[in-house]
Structure 1
Amino acid sequence: MTHTLLRWQQRLTGFTLATGRCTAWLALLLVIGMALVVVLRYGLGIGNIALQESLTYLHGALFMLAIAYTLAEDEHVRVDVLYQRFSPRQRAWVNLLGTLFLLLPVCGALFWLSLDYVLSSWKEQETSANGGLPFVYLLKSLLLVLPALLTVQGVAELLRHTLTLMGAPLPSPASHPEEGL
């Protein structure tokens, strides 16, 4: 039983880490795009709305797709006034209950509340009102992708904390074994 839970925890976390690593390339594209906008605008006097909007799309995608990766690496913002003094078992309880009663319900609510908004955008094939990029509905779809990815990692975190409470030795978040995917 423990071995099966550990294998699923590692697979889910491996998926999240792979997604995060792929998403990291968006940061490079964002920097290159921003440099291009600056050179075109201030060096050549050329403005391009579509190029500028693409930077907004990249910025949004970078954050929306990397949130689960941040959770997997345990790099999210945490107020550790008390948490840092807790034993590993106490931390596992806090994380398990927080994931179960806060993270997962928020993911469900975010998905549910965004669904009509995103579907409406797809139905209209929404485009930019400024003559920029025509794919606004794709950007809005990230409102559904974000809670889905975060839920996948939330389940991995539930498994990890459950295994900790069961006494199973686990790798630290920074050394998740993602091989084998």
Structure 2
Amino acid sequence: MDNVEEIVAISDPGEVGRDEHNRGDRFVVQLSNIAAWLFPILMVAITAQVILRNNGMNQAWLDDLQWWLYGAAVLMGVGYAVTTDSHVRVDILYDNFPEDKKTRTNLFAIGWLFLPFIILSWDVTYDYAVSSVRADEGSDSPNGLHNLWILKCFMNAAFVFIGIACWSAIVRNLKRLHEPKLWRQLWAAFPATFLLLNLTIYYGLYLTMSLLAEEGTSNRDISRGPAFGEIEFGPYELTYTVVAALILAPILVLALRALDTSRKAGS
């Protein structure tokens, strides 16, 4: 293999296209390079457990450690794969697209499909993490690794890391087509913009209601308050926060677009 770029792509994908990388991309690559050391540690843990088990000295904490290391490494690897574009593609058409069409495909795939899923995953795992911390969750085995809440908190934080990787990739791809103004970024990830607004409104209201609630009011009672009611649209029901986000998301994008002085100057 004589092509230096091909060698670099295999040995260190994080250096491919470095000239295009923004700060978010470099942050993801550098943190992922550190996290990559989890894999040799995982190999040592697996080997040690196999040897100990074959000698009748099974260690439950080593079993747990393997899952902890594997889960952490895989989640960090997702962000790295997004940044380096090294994820597996099952697309027989993409390779033959012209570069601008590839860029638009990347923007749609990341901003409209993948990033919304990551935001939803963060929201779901947030409750897991909080519940685990409150319960001081530990291993099922008496000799296992306890403080399982550490792993669940890391899992929730990892989705933030992946989200940074996605948004940085959106900015990088946008830059190939236009100047990546904020309104263009929000539009390129419009479903994610809507979800972020919805979560911001929801948790903002929840925090406000928690501060104003009478002593002894449970979290469930707060989340069932009038501010979190629903509006019926035929057979469908939408919460007030969702409706507010649906209204505010396009307004935000259009307002930022209208305030884009460089766009006005160009026209």
Report the TM-score when normalising by structure 2: 0.57
1:84 matched to 2:95: yes
Listed as ranges, the matches of 1:21-170 within 5 Å are 21-42=33-54, 44-131=55-142, 132-166=144-178
CA RMSD of aligned residues (A): 2.1
Greater relative contact order (Cα < 8 A, sep 6+):
1
Q: Which region of structure 1 is more displaced relative to structure 2, 136-145 or 86-95?
A: 136-145
Shift in Å, 1:154 = 0.9
* Residue identity opposite 1:115 in structure 2: Y
Instruction: Select between 70-79 and 7-16 the one with higher mean Cα deviation.
Output: 7-16
Contact 1:64 1:142 in 2 (8 A): no
| Per-residue deviation, residues 87-141 of structure 1 (Å, max 9, x unmatched) | 1100111111222211221111111122111100011110012111112111112
Query: Is the 2:24–2:164 contact (alpha carbons within 8 Å) kept by the matching residues of 1?
Result: yes
Report the 3-state secondary structure (helix = DSSP H, G, I; strand = E; otherwise coil) of the residue aligned with 2:90: coil
Contact 1:65–1:145 at 8 Å: present in 2 too? Answer: no
* CA–CA separation in structure 1 for the residues paired with 2:154 and 2:77: 11
For 1:11, the equivalent position in structure 2 comes to 23
**Deviating more after overlay: 120-129 vs 137-146:** 137-146
CA distance in 2 between counterparts of 1:79 and 1:106 reads 19
**Which one-letter code corresponds to 2:106 in the other structure?**
N
Contact 1:100 1:158 in 2 (8 A): yes
Q: Which runs of 5+ in 2 are unaligned?
A: 1-17, 181-267
Report sequence identity in percent. Answer: 25
The 2-side partners of 1:7 and 1:74 are apart by: 15
- With the length of structure 1 as denominator, give the TM-score of the two structures: 0.83
Aligned to 2:199: none
Q: Is the 8 A contact 1:37 1:47 kept in 2?
A: yes
Runs of 4+ in 1 over 3 A off after TM superposition: 6-9
Query: How far did 1:151 drift?
Result: 0.9
The answer as to whether partners of 2:137 and 2:148 remain within 8 angstroms in 1 is yes
Give the number of equivalent residue pairs.
162
Gaps of 5+ in 1: 1-5, 169-181
Aligned-pair distance for 1:142?
Answer: 3.0
- After superposition, the Cα gap between the structure-2 partners of 1:120 and 1:7, relative to the gap in structure 1 and judged at 3 Å, is farther
Tell me the distance in 1 between the aligned counterparts of 2:93 and 2:62. 46
Q: Tell me if structure 1 keeps the 8 A contact 2:20–2:172.
A: no
Of the structure 1 ranges 25-34 and 138-147, higher mean CA displacement relative to structure 2 is found in 138-147
